Amino acid sequence: MDDNKLIIRPKKYKGNDGYKTFSIRIKEDLVENIDLISTKTGHSRNELIGIFLEYAVNHCRIEE
């Protein structure tokens, strides 16, 4: 009889997949440029923003 049991596991909280969701404000012309790149490459706006941010973080130099 135990084989017919419905197993429900606890729902994972957001963020457990290694991603964090948050809002940002950017200029409309920047959104238009990202959308144009999205159309040309087939990558979603979200994917592109992640790629751009990762590149910027990895190539950032802080000067004092």
13-54 pLDDT, tens digit each: 666 778 888 999 999 999 999 999 999 999 999 999 999 999
Residue 60 banded pLDDT, cuts 50, 70, 90: very high
> Is residue 45 within 8 Å of 35, Cβ to Cβ?
yes
Q: How confident is the model at residue 7 (pLDDT cuts 50, 70, 90)?
A: confident
Phi, psi of 7 (to 5 degrees): -100, 125
Residues in the chain: 64
Predicted confidence at residue 5, as pLDDT, reads 82
pTM of the model: 0.71
Residue 19, SS3? coil
Instruction: Decide if 46 contacts 35 (C-beta within 8 A).
Output: no
